[in-house]
A and B are shown apart, each in its own frame.
Chain A
Amino acid sequence: MANRVATNAAINRISSDLTRTFNRMSDVQSQISSGRRLQRPSDDPSKVANAMEERATRRRLEQYTANATDASGWLKATDDTLVALQEQAAQAKARATSAVNGGTSAATRQAIAADIENIRSSMLQLANATYQGRSLFAGTAAVAQAYTASGTYDGDDGAVSRTIDEGVTLQVNVHGTEVFGAADTADPLAGDLFQVLGAMADAARSGSSTAMAAASGALDGAIDRMSEAQIRVGGAAVQVDTTIGRNELVMLDVKERLSSIEDVDLAEAIISLRSDEASYQAALGVTARVIQPSLLDFLR
């Protein structure tokens, strides 16, 4: 629109154009050196919300993975203990069978009863197994041992659970009552494993085959109960392993998405920087040629 350009107006215009190009260049340069395209909320407000959500998801996934690893440890410790318990139970059954076979003397029977009691106390020790200082079978009770020395259950039936994924909470424990059965003060044979073993030792000592048969049947029931617990633990362990594998894949996805939102595409940014540099240099060259000559150079 202007037919006439004042000298300092032209210079102001050149100066502000150069500044603008230079600012653009330095923005790109700062993106490249920090590796981040999104440095402030105003860089891209809608993407910032996505970035914050992805970061929150990433943090949660990290925690879920830690939880799942811990759950896996619990389940493995429980499983190992249950395997050992099964072995002991099988031994007790074998001893009991040999006790009712005919021709055993009182001394032998006494020895067998002592064996069974030994097995009982070693199983009691296994029942008090711990994982990282925490009793495996005590539920959510804050006790050092799930079973007292006399065989009373000191824990509760609370569930120890771990959140291994969004909204997926898994119970990783089996409590004492579930594994060993509930105590029954009236009828030891209907009570927990330790009561059954105690009754079995008495039956061996007494030599009564009916008592022994009943105790043996109760022991079978206890062994079945432990097997069911083992199955449940095994199933949970499989679920945890699958989840750990899946979480790793999801974590990769999240990191990729976060990177695509936040990080600068290095190739694109460098190309942009090169072209900005080229236009900046061209602008500088033109400026030098345009603002220098004036009529004064040509007058004597």
Chain B
Amino acid sequence: MSNFSALGTGLSALVAHRQAAEVISHNIANANTEGYSRRRVELRAEGPDPVAAVFSHSSHTGTGVRSDGIARIRDDFLEAQHRNETGIAGTLEGTATVLDRLERSFPEPSDTGIAAQLDDMWASWQAIVNNPESEAARSAVLEKGKLVIQSFQLADRQIRAQHGDAVTNVGLQVTKVNQLADQIAHYNSGIRAASVAGLSPNDLLDQRDQAVLELTRLTGATVQAGDNGSVDVFVGGRALVYRSDVQHLVSAEVDDPALDPLGFKRVEVHWEIDDSVADLTTGTIAGYASGANEVLPKYLGQLDAVAEQLVTSVNTLHSTGNDLDGDTGHDFFDAAGTTAATLALSADVAGQPRHLAAADASAGPLDTSLAQSIAAIGRATAGPDASYRSMIVALGSEVQFFTQQSDVQNSVVQRLDEDRKSVSGVNLDEEMVALIAEQHAYSAAARVITTVDEMLDTLINRMGVVGR
């Protein structure tokens, strides 16, 4: 036990508390940083110096305080929960976005949607009844027919554009996933190197975990702890990031016989290295992919079915009727155009209102019973209008369901985020109090050194000067 050991103790206190104050200021500076976990200096009381002797003993006086490193306060279980629910939220976000945009292509109920155009067309068939000899009334039917065709084609174009957007989004997100995977691998190698050297790479850990969270939102990835603080990220059961190695993903469009009739390809995510399919079931990518592969084709198929029903039901009646010249056998719609995209007036009637058949085959050309039968298609319980209505109701219900689910899931994620931040988040008041405590501890340690200095001064300068 030397005279100067108290100085050493005081010095250790100054160093430790200064370091603690630095950590606190780091916390405060990062109070709003997303993904930051608060740090705390681990202080440990230092025991007495050992004395080399046959029977070693010490004076049992401690020699101050040491810092054991900077701990990162974080609850891994809460983090894992938050991550998992974020993945699910991503899926719902993807699907809900696709459905929301799809719904905007069908503005019902309104005066501008397909239903209103169909209503107007049936009414124009009724109007012929009042003026069967008038070519103007027949031209009006052709014009209304064209409006119906245009509204179907518009809806078709919009759905196809949305499909293209969803596929593009998948591609963009896969690129982001690859970037994030590269970052995580990079962080992993830094973390492993630092851990092996005995350092605490806390900032790298925070940034890596933030990247993992973003990745999980996109892909629903699972995470396992690797060696030396690194993590391995698994997507669809295969490793995306393993230690410092990365396997990239790539988005691909493959043929799918179910989607061929619509002219779509199936969008999938493949492993770049061997082109096998990456099984993504959660995450935003999965949401958009299911939107492109299932939701949009489903509704486009239903729209096409309505178009086909329209063409068939009108043509079946129309071709049996007589036109103004007494001829029969004309089609109203082009029989080859049975999808929303190919819907068209037949060459027989386009621009030729006289060829519109309003009369029954057994009556004179000014008969209008056929026109009335065609107009009655509009209120048939199994007709195209009824099918369109069911489609709209189904679409509205699905959008409502996914929007609600997405909202609910977002609240769940938010609550879990609050839970994990209750452990790892920075509370400014708490940090201020801790800072004041460190400040006092620092002042006290400085005072101790001053006191010891005065004691030594007494010893050195004022001992043995009697009589001088």
Contacts and interface: CB of A to CB of B under 8 A. Distances in A.
B129 A8 contact: no
Contacts of A134: 131, 133, 366
Contacts of A166: 379
Given A2-B418, A42-B103, A296-B432, A8 B425 contact: yes
Given A52-B389, A63-B126, A299-B436, A4 B109 contact: no
Contacts of B432: 294-296, 299
B161 interface: no
A267 interface: no
B425 A13 contact: no
Contacts of A52: 108-109, 115, 389, 392
A140 B133 CA distance: 10
Interface in B54-73: none
Nearest to A295: B432
B426 interface: yes
Nearest to A54: B109
Contacts of A133: 133-134
Interface string A105-131: 000000000000000000000000000
A158 B109 CA distance: 40
B396 A40 contact: yes
Interface string A57-71: 001101110110010
B363 interface: yes
Interface stretch (B117-125, B174-182, B234-242): B117-125
A202 to B, nearest CB: 34
A3 B418 CA distance: 11
Contacts of A59: 116, 119-120, 122-123
B293 to A, nearest CB: 22
B359 interface: yes
A55 B118 CA distance: 11
A63 to B, nearest CB: 4
A51 B111 CA distance: 12
Given A13-B414, A13-B418, A162-B130, A6 B427 contact: yes
A41 B392 contact: yes
A181 B364 CA distance: 20
A66 B122 CA distance: 14
A56 B126 contact: no
B438 interface: no
B436 A55 contact: no
Nearest to A58: B119
B86 interface: no
B427 A5 contact: yes
Contacts of B365: 140-142
Nearest to A56: B119
A48 B366 contact: no
B24 to A, nearest CB: 13
A190 B119 CA distance: 51
Contacts of B251: none
B403 interface: yes
Contact of A6 (B375, B392, B425): B425
Interface string A286-300: 000000001110010
Nearest to A296: B432
A161 B32 CA distance: 78
B368 interface: yes
Nearest to B325: A142
A62 B429 CA distance: 71
A271 interface: no
A140 B363 contact: yes
B109 A161 contact: no
A192 interface: no
A166 B378 CA distance: 12
A161 B392 contact: no
B428 A2 contact: no
A156 interface: yes
A276 B304 CA distance: 43
Pick the 5 closest A-B CB pairs, nearest first. Answer: A6-B425, A41-B396, A140-B364, A2-B422, A45-B396
29 contacts: A4-B430, A6-B421, A7-B31, A8-B31, A9-B421, A40-B104, A41-B106, A45-B393, A48-B108, A49-B389, A49-B392, A52-B109, A59-B120, A60-B378, A63-B123, A67-B126, A139-B364, A140-B359, A140-B364, A140-B365, A141-B365, A159-B367, A160-B368, A163-B372, A163-B375, A262-B109, A294-B432, A295-B432, A295-B433
Interface of B: 31-32, 103-104, 106-109, 115-116, 119-120, 122-123, 126-127, 129-134, 324, 359, 363-369, 372, 375, 378-379, 385, 389-390, 392-397, 399-400, 403, 414, 417-419, 421-430, 432-433, 436
Given A40-B104, A41-B399, A56-B378, 8 more contacts: A8-B31, A42-B403, A45-B394, A53-B389, A63-B123, A70-B130, A140-B363, A299-B436
